[in-house]
Structure 1
Amino acid sequence: MDKLLILVGQDPLISVVARKYAIWLIPTLVPYAILQSLIRYLQTQSLILPMIYSSVAALVFHVPVCWALVFKTKLGNAGAALAIGLSYWINVILLVIYVKYSSTCKKTRVSFSNIVLPSMKEFFSFAVPSAVMVCLEWWSCEIIVLLSGLLPNPQLETSVLSTCYDLSCLLVASLHYFIPYSVGAAASTRVSNALGAGCSETARVAVWAAIVLSVVEVIVACTILLGFRHVVGYAFSDVKEFVDYLDDITPLVCLLLTMDCIQAVLSGVARGSGWQHLGAYVNLGAFYLVGIPMASVLGFVLHLRGKGLWLGLNMGSIVQSFLLTLITSLTNWKKQASMAQQRIFEKRNTADETC
């Protein structure tokens, strides 16, 4: 991995650290995969409190363990990655205990059977485009960060600092993204449950409720960020040059937060409605035909440097939000509910035949 990062122009010091951190993150893939399955299982039943309690317990465990592994055992970044894996396992264990012994899950708790195998084909038809949909978006952000390391910036001493500056902007956007993403996950669950029950009007209302809630939240977040733009950089560094850079680029970050607010909710609606393949095409076109090419032109050809990269990423987000909004506004919810119920009846018939 370090050789690959160096090949695309990343600083060798950053590449070596990234390789070590990524290797120690590999064991976290197993508990993370189990955790995501448990979360979806509980979300579909609106069992939110158990997930909150287990997450709080995992956080209380994570903070001291991470500190100990990073500073006391001298593992550094490797210790941070290891702490993440341990925290995931704590979360998984607590949720497994709840699902296993809680009376709330009694009616939905089933053991593995041969009915699972025939349904795998249908599952993959939704899972693969859903994964592609998410990955295409996140990879575009990572590509922008990689490009930032290649920028010639006379105001910064090294490309390492340039990359760190843009990583900090990405961190701000990523921290906020989990809020609309969570609203989108809730919308996905509500919409899919409503469509499965044949309640098209409930699904439509859930979509609008999620959009309004997310818009109100992003207005508050952007107002706070713009209000503290002159000091927000001190959360990452006390270097005046760094603080001024974040101050200057904050409006672009706020624009990205706004677009993330819309697309995160509508992406959740798309997953809940079974439009994952449309979402994948939208993300492919928005970020890889518009966003990244525009970022490259603005950053390297027009010499706007970091601002150009972020402006290009924003253009991709704007196109993505516009296309998802167009798809959602043209949706016939009655037809979607009818199609969802038809799939349910087909699954029941298949299960009865297998039994």
Structure 2
Amino acid sequence: MEDSLLVNSKQEEKQELKKIRWEKLKKVASMAAPMIIVNISQTLLQATSTMIVGHKSEISLAGIALASSIANVTGFSLLCGLAGALETLCGQAFGARQYEKLGSYTFTSIVSLLIICFPISLLWIFMKNLLLLFHQDPEISEVASVYCLWLIPALFGYSVIQSLVRYFQTQSLIFPMVLSSFAVLCFHLPACWLFVYTLGLGTKGAALSISLSYWLNAVFLWFFMRHSRVCEGKRVFISMEAFGHMRIFFTLAVPSAMMVTLEWSAFEILILISGVLPNAKLETSVISMIYTTSSLHYNLATAIGAAASTNVANELGAGNLVAARSSATVAISIAAVESSAMSFALFLSRHVWGYAFSNAPEVIRYAAEITPILCISIVMDSLSASLTGVVRGSGKQKIGAFVNIAAFYIIGIPIGLVFCFIVDLKVKGLWIGILSGCTLQTLTLFLITKFTNWKTTEAL
């Protein structure tokens, strides 16, 4: 009799677990799908600028690609990473129904990020000198420095955007972000073409159009937050109370920023290395095309990671630990299916996709050779993005930072250098190094998630 009751109890637990996972699958997928639109629309602002300027000349393509890489690693990735602290703070506060903290935490983030923009701007002003110090091509360095200089206003707009995106994301309010990002993208495309070609501003025009687009997005999100009924009781106000959250914010923001910047920096370091290879224009152009393509897909992956982070944080805040674990499981599964489909499609179009960036036959041919490696890295990137989302949602950013140090700087970059210079695979070897680091990162984060004792995991 007791054995029968035990069996029935276990069956009921399994049925309940299946039900929870099915519910989390629907919730994660329903949030990830619109977040893909948000992420891709934001990334396309820089990617389309690269494409538009790239068709002007090979020097322009190489210059703006190098500038975008430097801007990402020294500015945008840092701000994005710091804002990631809100995924834990606002996510768990929302799950615990402590709604008054959402606006306060978000204002703390906005102020902190805006302050950090000033030293970053100073760095960008002297970008040309820094690039020449690292033996970059003088012509490419000139184009890159001009682009960074005109991109400085975008930094401040990006700070507001990233904070507000986390504010809406942790409440699963995706629609305003979808509407805003799509509308801004529709504005950006003709504006960029107008500034670059009609007004003849070239790279200056491309950077200026990005700056205007970022601020337009920030203003739209702020207006929605201040006037929408769904934000009632959770609005962002200028308050001295927010400064009291600085300590807990930076406790999570610093390791969160390390997670993002360490990974982005690894990619950018290899792009810089490509600039000192023989035939630097070709090598830099090709690796920038691969990086941009990988980044575009990564926005699909980060959408899944964002959904995982939000659901894990909300459930931990509410004390639903089984549901938090189920959110992590379904996010990883979705990432695996999505990335496999995308990498297969890219492999089939390996001789065609390069034309989106350049018309040069040697560039297209070189890109096609590296595509198989790119396809594998896309799968690894997608899995790692979903896993880092789980890490952020559960407040384990410090662990994620140490994992990235080991994966990319102890393993990935050294392997890339060996294959590039010793094996003489050049850019292909550099990307093999990135793939090695990303694979180690994915496996480590998976094991951490797999063996996490969710029953002892507590909200902040």
One fold, TM greater than 0.5? yes
Larger RCO, structure (CA 8 Å, separation 6 or more): 2
1:79 aligned to 193, 205, 208, which one? 205
Q: Which range moves more in the overlay, 24-33 or 6-15?
A: 6-15
Deviation at 1:113, TM superposition (A): 3.1
The DSSP-based 3-state class of the residue aligned with 2:429 is: helix
Work out the CA distance in 2 between the residues paired with 1:202 and 1:112: 35
Q: How does 1:293-332 map to 2 (within 5 A)?
A: 293-332=414-453
What's the counterpart of residue 172 of structure 2? 46
Q: What is the TM-score with the length of structure 2 in the denominator?
A: 0.71
- Structure 1 counterpart of 2:429, which letter? G
Match status 1:283 vs 2:404: yes
Work out the CA distance in 2 between the residues paired with 1:274 and 1:307: 36
Provide, for residues 34-71 of structure 1, a one-character-per-residue CA deviation record: whole Å limited to 9, x for no partner. 11111111111111111111111111211111111111
Q: What is the TM-score with the length of structure 1 in the denominator?
A: 0.91
What's the counterpart of residue 121 of structure 1? 247
Q: How does 1:4-43 map to 2 (within 5 A)?
A: 4-43=130-169
What's the counterpart of residue 176 of structure 1? 297
Work out the CA distance in 1 between the residues paired with 2:358 and 2:239: 54
Work out the CA distance in 1 between the residues paired with 2:288 and 2:219: 33
Q: Report runs of 4+ in structure 1 exceeding 4 Å deviation.
A: none
What's the counterpart of residue 88 of structure 1? 214
Work out the CA distance in 2 between the residues paired with 1:172 and 1:110: 35
What's the counterpart of residue 191 of structure 1? 312
Deviation at 1:110, TM superposition (A): 5.0
Work out the CA distance in 2 between the residues paired with 1:34 and 1:173: 26
Q: Sequence identity, in percent?
A: 47
What's the counterpart of residue 41 of structure 2? none
8 Å Cα contact 1:38-1:95 kept in structure 2: yes
Deviation at 1:306, TM superposition (A): 1.6
8 Å Cα contact 2:285-2:363 kept in structure 1: no
Provide, for residues 288-314 of structure 1, a one-character-per-residue CA deviation record: whole Å limited to 9, x for no partner. 111111111111122121211111111
Q: How many residues align?
A: 334
Provide, for residues 125-174 of structure 1, a one-character-per-residue CA deviation record: whole Å limited to 9, x for no partner. 0011101110000010011111112223xxxxx21111111111111111
Deviation at 1:183, TM superposition (A): 1.0
Work out the CA distance in 2 between the residues paired with 1:21 and 1:168: 18
Provide, for residues 205-234 of structure 1, a one-character-per-residue CA deviation record: whole Å limited to 9, x for no partner. 111121111111111111111111122222
2:355 aligned to 228, 234, 240, which one? 234
Provide, for residues 281-336 of structure 1, a one-character-per-residue CA deviation record: whole Å limited to 9, x for no partner. 11111111111111111111221212111111111111111111111111111211
Deviation at 1:102, TM superposition (A): 0.9
- Structure 2 counterpart of 1:227, which letter? L
The DSSP-based 3-state class of the residue aligned with 1:222 is: helix
Match status 1:150 vs 2:276: yes
What's the counterpart of residue 86 of structure 2? none
What's the counterpart of residue 159 of structure 1? 280
The DSSP-based 3-state class of the residue aligned with 1:111 is: coil
What's the counterpart of residue 2 of structure 1? 128
Deviation at 1:72, TM superposition (A): 1.9
8 Å Cα contact 2:225-2:236 kept in structure 1: no
Work out the CA distance in 2 between the residues paired with 1:189 and 1:39: 12
What's the counterpart of residue 253 of structure 1? 374
Q: 1:67 to 1:238 in 2, by over 3 A?
A: closer
What's the counterpart of residue 58 of structure 1? 184
8 Å Cα contact 2:336-2:382 kept in structure 1: yes
Deviation at 1:117, TM superposition (A): 2.3
Work out the CA distance in 1 between the residues paired with 2:158 and 2:358: 31
Work out the CA distance in 1 between the residues paired with 2:162 and 2:243: 20
1:203 aligned to 312, 315, 324, which one? 324
Cα RMSD (Å): 1.3
- Structure 2 counterpart of 1:286, which letter? A
- Structure 2 counterpart of 1:151, which letter? L
What's the counterpart of residue 346 of structure 1? none
Structure 1 unaligned regions, length at least 5:
153-157, 344-355
The DSSP-based 3-state class of the residue aligned with 2:381 is: helix
Work out the CA distance in 2 between the residues paired with 1:149 and 1:221: 29
Work out the CA distance in 2 between the residues paired with 1:235 and 1:96: 34
Q: Which range moves more in the overlay, 236-245 or 78-87?
A: 236-245
Work out the CA distance in 1 between the residues paired with 2:303 and 2:243: 30
2:266 aligned to 140, 148, 151, which one? 140
Provide, for residues 148-205 of structure 1, a one-character-per-residue CA deviation record: whole Å limited to 9, x for no partner. 12223xxxxx211111111111111111111101111111111111101001111111
The DSSP-based 3-state class of the residue aligned with 2:276 is: coil
8 Å Cα contact 1:180-1:260 kept in structure 2: yes
The DSSP-based 3-state class of the residue aligned with 1:115 is: helix
8 Å Cα contact 1:151-1:300 kept in structure 2: no
Match status 1:244 vs 2:365: yes
The DSSP-based 3-state class of the residue aligned with 2:240 is: coil
